[in-house]
Amino acid sequence: MKRTLLHSTLASVFILLFVANDTYAQRHKKEEKPKEVSIYDVDTLQKLIPLNRKMWHDRIDIQQKKIRASFKMVSYSDDSILSASFQHAMMEDVDHMQKMVENMPPGDRDSYAESQEKIQCLKAIEQMLISFNRDVRPDPVYYKKLVANMHDLIIALNEGTSLDFVKNNVSKQTLNNVKALFDKPSAPERMFIYPEMGRREPQMMIKRLPEFVNDPYADDIITAAAKVVPNEIFNYASSTNVPLSNAVRRSKDPLVQTIVRVAQESKSPLKAMPFINDIFAKRKTIAEVDAITSNPDLFYQNLVRLKVENVAIGGDIYTDELQYRGMSYVRKMNELHEEKDPVRFKCIEDMSPEAMYFLMVYGQDEIYTSSFLGTFKRMMAKLGTTPGNEFLDRVHRDKFRTFIRMCAGYNTLPQFLGTMDAEHKNSLMRDFIAGLEKGKDDDLEDAVDVADAFGSIQDSSLAAFLDKQVKDNYESAYQQRSKKGVIIYGLLATLFESSRNANNSDNAAAESNRLNLPPINLVPNNKLANDSGIVYEQFFFFGDEDGKTSYASFLTNFKDGKWKIVNTNKNWSTISSTSGKPVVIYANMPVPEPGDEEAQKALCNYLDSLEIHPTIVVHRGHSYHLPLTIDHLKPEARIVMLGSCGGYHNLGKVLDHSPDAHIISSKQVGSMSVNEPIIKTINEQLLEGKDIEWISSWMKLNGIFAMKGREKAREYFVDYIPPHRNLGAIFIKAYRKMLNSLE
C-alpha cells in the first residue's frame, strides 16, 4: 500500500512502526517459549555481601546520592518520560547491577580470583558514576546508554566473552567502560578498542592521548589523527609535557614528522599549520609559507586557494583560519557602514568571487545585512555570465545551504537562481533539500539551514517545489528505514506547513502539539518565576566602548519609578521592581577588558551561592563575545536574547546549555534602539504577572517601530527573529527531543 506523508503526522509515529514489527515478533516469540529466569535477572541477593566488598558498595551508594541531588540539573524538564528513564538507569539499574555482581557464579575461578573480579566490577561501576558527577554538562542519554553497556559488559566478562562483546559493540560507551573495567594496558579488550576507536574517531582519541601515551597502540592513533586533525599533533609536538611531546616526536610517520618540523622551524608555526599539505607535498618550503602568512591579504588569498583546491589534509585548520582571517574583512565593512560604498567595500574590491563567497558564508555570525548585500553584489558582478550552479561547483558546494539560506533571508535568492536555467535551478534546489540524513545524529547544520531558509522564501512556486522535495525525501528515508531521515523530513514538513500560519496563536499552539513541544508562542509565567514568585534576569555586558554605551542605555529603562537600581559593588548592579510582581535583574558592570569577564564570573558565582537561577538571560555585546555568555547559561533559562546572529552553531550551543530556551536573535549585530523596547515589553508583562506571549508582543513592537522618527530602528528590527518564528531553534529542540525519546 502506498504511503503518503501527511503534514500533521509526526515522524515518531512511523519510527514506532519500524520498531513495532520487531517488538511484536519478539513478544510472541517469548509467549511461545517462556524463558527461564537468568541469574543476571535475579533482583535479590543470593548471599550476604562479604566485608571485603561491602566498602565498594558503600562507595557506589555515595556517588548515587550525589547524582540524586543533581537530577534537576540534568533531567529534561519538559520530557518526563525521558527524565524518569534516565533516573531509573542511574538508581534502580545500578542497584540491580550491584546485586548482579554479587550473584554471579564463580565458574572455574577460585574464591580469591572470584572476589577480585567482583571488586573490579564494583570499582568500574563506581568509576562510571564518578565520571558522571565530574561531568560539567552531562548528557542523560549518553549516561543511560553507558549504564546499559556496563551491565552487558560485566555479564560478558563473567561468561568469558568480553572480547567478543567489545568487538561487536565498538562505541564511546564501550571504550569508557573497558577503561574502567580492564586496568591493564595489555588486556585484549583494551588492545582492541583503543586502536579501533582511534581508526573510527581519531579526533576524539587523540585528545585522550595522556591516558595511553605509553601503550603500544599510541603510535597508530597518532598517525591516524595526523591526517584528520594535524593541529592536535602540532599541540603535542609543541607541548612542555615531555611524555606527550616525545610520543609525537618518536613517530616515524612522514606527515607527523612534517608537523614536528613546522613546530621547530617556522617563524610563525601556528600560521604555517594551515599549509601543512603544501609543505608535506613539497609544494612550498616552510620559509615560503612564512612569507605568505606575513602578508594579511596574501594569507587570506592562499587560504581561499586551499579551499578551492579542496585539500584534504588540514581541512579543519585552514577552514578555521579562513573564517578567522575573513572576519577581519567583515568587521571592517561593518565598521564602515556609514561610509559610501567605494570606501566601505575597498578592502574586497580585488578579491575573487570565491573569496567573497567564503567571506559571506563563514562570516554569517557577524556580517551586517548591508555588508552581505554589498559583498553579494560585487561577487555577482565578478561572476558575470557564469551560472550560479557552476560557481557553487567551483567551491565544491561548501556551505551552499548556508549561502542559499542567507540569500533567502536577505532577498537575493531570486537573483542568484536567475543565473541558471530551469533544469539546473531545480537540480540545485533538490540538492538543497536532499541528503540531510547523512552524517551523525547530532549533525544538524544543513537541516537547520533548510528550516531557516524556508521561513524566508517568498516565492510561492519555489516554496511548493521545496515542500514536495521534503515529502519525496521523507518517503525515501522511510523506505530506507533511516531514523535520522524520517525525523528530519517529518519535522521539516510540519514546520513548513506551520510557518505559513505562525502569526496566529491557535495555529502556533497546534504546531507545538504536532511537534510534541511546550508552547512555542509563549512562555508561561510560572516557568519564569521561582517558588517564591520572583523572576530573575541576568544581563551580560562587555567592557568595550559599545558595551559601556549599551549599559548606560540599558539603565534608562528603569527610571519610571517602577524600579530601584542599586550599584551593589564594583562588579554588578541589581535592579528590583518596586511595583507589580517581583522581578530582580542582575547586570555586570562593563568593566574594561579583561575585567568584564571577571565581573561576569563574580556575579555568576554570587548567584550560584544563593541558588538563584535566572530564567531570562540577555547578551548585550558583539557576536565575538557571545561564547562567553553562552558558557554561563544554565538549564533553567527559558528566554535567551542573543542580540546578535542566531546561526546554527550559536542556536545549538544555547540549547545545549538551556534545552527549553525561547531564543530571540538577530540576523546581524543587535541594536540598542531595538533591544531596549523588546526588553521593556517583556518586563511590562512580567510586572503584570502575565505569560510572555510572542505573537502579541511582536505586533506591539511592530507598532512601536512604525512610529515616525524610528525609521532607522525599524531597519534593524526587521532583522530580529522572535522565538515563534525561529524555525532553526524550533527544529533543533523538536529533533533532539524526538531522538532522545527514541534512544
Flag whether 379 is in a domain: yes
Tell me the pLDDT tens digit for each residue of 237-258. 999 999 999 999 999 999 999 9
Last residue of a domain, one of 291, 326, 341: 291
Confidence of residue 501 (pLDDT cuts 50, 70, 90): low
Residues 584, 677 within the same domain = yes
Whether residue 643 is predicted with pLDDT greater than 90 in this model: the reply is no
Torsion angle of C-alpha atoms 670, 673, 677, 679, degrees rounded to 10:
40
Confidence of residue 7 (pLDDT cuts 50, 70, 90): very low
Average pLDDT, the chain: 89
Whether residue 513 is predicted with pLDDT greater than 90 in this model: the reply is no
Last residue of a domain, one of 291, 310, 343: 291
Question: Rounded distance, CA 150 to CA 40, Å?
Answer: 13
Cis previous bond, 519, omega within 30? no
Whether residue 640 is predicted with pLDDT greater than 70 in this model: the reply is yes
Q: How many CA atoms lie within 13 A of 300 on its CB side?
A: 22
DSSP designation for 277: H
Confidence of residue 159 (pLDDT cuts 50, 70, 90): very high
Under a CB-based contact definition with an 8 Å cutoff, are residues 455 and 508 in contact? no
Report the percent of the chain where pLDDT is more than 70: 90
Three-class SS string for 402-460? HHHHHHHHCCCHHHHHCCCCHHHHHHHHHHHHCCCCCCCCCCCHHHHHHHHHHCCCCCH
Tell me the pLDDT tens digit for each residue of 418-437. 999 999 999 999 999 999 99
Tell me the pLDDT tens digit for each residue of 568-598. 789 999 999 999 999 999 999 999 988 999 9
Average confidence (pLDDT) over 539-545: 92
Flag whether 9 is in a domain: no
- At 19 the pLDDT is 47
Residues 399, 502 within the same domain = yes
Confidence of residue 43 (pLDDT cuts 50, 70, 90): confident
Confidence of residue 3 (pLDDT cuts 50, 70, 90): very low
Whether residue 306 is predicted with pLDDT greater than 60 in this model: the reply is yes
Residues 231, 175 within the same domain = no
Q: Is 108 exposed, middle or buried (0-12, 13-18, 19+ CB in 10 A)?
A: exposed
Residues 627, 670 within the same domain = yes
Residues 279, 173 within the same domain = no
Whether residue 232 is predicted with pLDDT greater than 90 in this model: the reply is yes
Flag whether 120 is in a domain: yes
Task: Kindly tell me the sign of the dihedral angle through the C-alpha atoms of 446, 447, 451, 457.
Answer: positive
Average confidence (pLDDT) over 342-368: 95
Average confidence (pLDDT) over 659-668: 86
Flag whether 533 is in a domain: yes
Torsion angle of C-alpha atoms 475, 476, 480, 484, degrees rounded to 10:
-80
Flag whether 390 is in a domain: yes
Whether residue 707 is predicted with pLDDT greater than 70 in this model: the reply is yes
Confidence of residue 509 (pLDDT cuts 50, 70, 90): low
Under a CB-based contact definition with an 8 Å cutoff, are residues 274 and 317 in contact? yes
Task: Kindly tell me the sign of the dihedral angle through the C-alpha atoms of 62, 65, 69, 74.
Answer: positive
DSSP designation for 38: P
Question: Rounded distance, CA 462 to CA 457, Å?
Answer: 8
Flag whether 159 is in a domain: yes
Flag whether 15 is in a domain: no
Confidence of residue 190 (pLDDT cuts 50, 70, 90): very high
Average confidence (pLDDT) over 78-102: 85
| In the block, residue with C-alpha cell 551561592 | 609
Residues 384, 282 within the same domain = no
Residue-wise DSSP of 592-616: TTTHHHHHHHHHHHHHHHTT---SE
Into how many domains does the chain fold?
4
Task: Find the length of the chain.
Answer: 743
Residues 287, 297 within the same domain = no
Residues 390, 243 within the same domain = no
Under a CB-based contact definition with an 8 Å cutoff, are residues 502 and 519 in contact? no
- At 499 the pLDDT is 65
Under a CB-based contact definition with an 8 Å cutoff, are residues 195 and 80 in contact? no
Flag whether 406 is in a domain: yes
Tell me the pLDDT tens digit for each residue of 12-41. 445 444 544 444 445 444 555 556 778 888
Residues 115, 137 within the same domain = yes
| In the block, residue with C-alpha cell 580492564 | 182
Own/partner pairs, 593-598, CB within 8 angstroms, 24+ separation: 593/542, 593/543, 593/544, 594/543, 595/543, 596/541, 596/542, 596/543, 596/547, 597/628, 598/571
Whether residue 743 is predicted with pLDDT greater than 50 in this model: the reply is yes
Question: Rounded distance, CA 420 to CA 201, Å?
Answer: 40
Under a CB-based contact definition with an 8 Å cutoff, are residues 405 and 663 in contact? no
Average confidence (pLDDT) over 194-222: 95
Residues 714, 674 within the same domain = yes
- At 123 the pLDDT is 97
* Enclosing domain of residue 177: 37-200
Tell me the pLDDT tens digit for each residue of 314-339. 999 999 999 999 999 999 999 998 89
Residues 275, 381 within the same domain = no
Residues 50, 104 within the same domain = yes
Question: Rounded distance, CA 93 to CA 500, Å?
Answer: 46
Pairing of strands 572-577, 563-566: antiparallel
Last residue of a domain, one of 488, 514, 540: 514
